Amino acid sequence: MASSMSASQLKATRGDSNTKKTFQVSKSTRGLIKAMSKDREYVTSSDGDLFNALTSEYYDKFASVHGNEEAESLNRAFLGAFSVIDKDYDGGWVGGSEGGAPDCAIIDSLFYPDIVSAGKADSRAWSKTFVSRTLVGDPGTTYKYLGLRIFAHPWSVDDVETVEKEKRLRALLAASSPPPSLPKEDEWLEEIKASTSPFISAKSSPLSTSFYYPPSTASALTSIKDANSALVTSSKKQLKKKVVGKNGISKDMLGSSQFTLTLINRMEPTAVRRDLKPDSTTSTLSGNRIDSKTSVSWHTDSGLVDYSTIAIWHHHKPPENLSKKARGDISNLWRVALRPIPSLLPSDAKIPALLAPLPANGGIYYMLDDLNHKFEHAVLAGGEGTRYSSTHRVARGGKGTYQFLLNELLAVLSGEHVFSSFSAPKEKKNDEMKRVKGLRRLLSLINEIEFEWIRQWRVQGEGNAKRNRYWLTKFALITSAQNVLLRIRDDMKTWLMSGCNGREGFEDYYDILIEHWESRVKVADSWKKRLEERVYASLPTIEQPVSWGSSDDLSAEAVEKKSRKARKWRSEYVDGSLRNKKRKLDGEEHGGGKKKKKDDKGKKKKKKNKDKSGGLTKKEQKGLGGNWALLKGSM
pLDDT of residue 426: 54
Domain boundary among 398, 426, 449: 398
In three-state form (DSSP H/G/I as H, E/B as E, the rest C), the secondary structure along 398-457 is HHHEHHHHHHHHHHHHCCCCCCCCCCCCCCCHHHHHHHHHHHHHHHHHHHHHHHHHHHHH
The boundaries of the domain holding residue 537 are 414-595
Max intra-chain CA distance, the chain:
111
pLDDT of residue 628: 46
The verdict on residue 629 lying in a domain is no
- Count the domains in the chain: 2
As separate numbers, helices (DSSP H) first and strands (DSSP E) second, the chain gives 23, 18
The verdict on residue 633 lying in a domain is no
The verdict on residue 632 lying in a domain is no
The verdict on residue 391 lying in a domain is yes
Q: Say if residue 150's pLDDT is above 90.
A: yes
Q: Say if residue 98's pLDDT is above 70.
A: no
Q: Say if residue 153's pLDDT is above 80.
A: yes
> pTM score, two decimals?
0.86
Are 394 and 509 in the same domain? no
Concatenating the DSSP letter of every residue in 555-612 gives SHHHHHHHHHHHHHHHHHHHHHHHHHHHHHHHHHTTT-HHHHHHHHHHHHHHHHHHHH
Are 30 and 57 in the same domain? yes
> How far apart (Å, rounded) are the C-alpha atoms in residues 406 and 162?
8
Mean pLDDT of the chain: 81
Are 464 and 553 in the same domain? yes
Q: Say if residue 286's pLDDT is above 90.
A: no
pLDDT of residue 539: 94
Task: Report pLDDT digits (tens) over 480-497.
Answer: 999 999 988 888 888 888
Q: Say if residue 252's pLDDT is above 50.
A: yes
Which of the listed ranges 312-321, 476-485, 549-558 does the model predict with the highest average pLDDT? 476-485
Are 546 and 423 in the same domain? yes
Q: What is the mean pLDDT of residues 270-277?
A: 83
Are 392 and 424 in the same domain? no
Task: Report pLDDT digits (tens) over 154-200.
Answer: 999 999 999 999 999 999 999 887 777 778 899 999 999 999 889 99
Q: Say if residue 389's pLDDT is above 60.
A: yes
The verdict on residue 610 lying in a domain is no
Q: Which long-range contacts (CB under 8 A, 24 or more apart) does 506-513 make?
A: 506/573, 507/570, 507/573, 507/574, 507/618, 508/436, 508/618, 509/436, 509/439, 510/566, 510/569, 510/570, 510/573, 510/617, 511/570, 511/617, 511/618, 511/619, 512/436, 512/439, 512/440, 512/443, 513/443, 513/566
**CATH number for the domain that contains residue 106:** 2.60.120.590
pLDDT of residue 141: 98
Domain boundary among 564, 579, 595: 595
- φ, ψ dihedrals at 279, nearest 5°: -65, 160
| Tally of CB atoms within 10 A around 316 | 21
Are 465 and 493 in the same domain? yes
Are 342 and 317 in the same domain? yes
pLDDT of residue 138: 98
pLDDT of residue 604: 53
Are 151 and 259 in the same domain? yes
Give yes or no for a contact between 188 and 462, defined as CB atoms under 8 angstroms apart.
Answer: yes
The verdict on residue 29 lying in a domain is yes
The verdict on residue 188 lying in a domain is yes
Q: What is the mean pLDDT of residues 452-479?
A: 95
Domain boundary among 398, 432, 459: 398
Are 312 and 421 in the same domain? no
**Confidence grade of residue 152 (pLDDT, cut at 50, 70, 90):** very high
Q: Say if residue 466's pLDDT is above 90.
A: yes
Are 420 and 364 in the same domain? no
**Confidence grade of residue 290 (pLDDT, cut at 50, 70, 90):** very low
> How far apart (Å, rounded) are the C-alpha atoms in residues 630 and 635?
9
Q: Say if residue 96's pLDDT is above 50.
A: no
Are 32 and 124 in the same domain? yes
Are 390 and 518 in the same domain? no
The verdict on residue 607 lying in a domain is no
- Give the range among 184-198, 238-252, 518-532, 610-624 with minimum mean pLDDT: 610-624
Task: Report pLDDT digits (tens) over 205-216.
Answer: 999 999 999 999
Q: What is the mean pLDDT of residues 331-357?
A: 84
Which is more confidently placed, 584 or 567?
A: 567
Task: Report pLDDT digits (tens) over 408-457.
Answer: 999 999 875 555 544 454 556 566 777 788 889 999 999 999 999 999 99
pLDDT of residue 105: 43
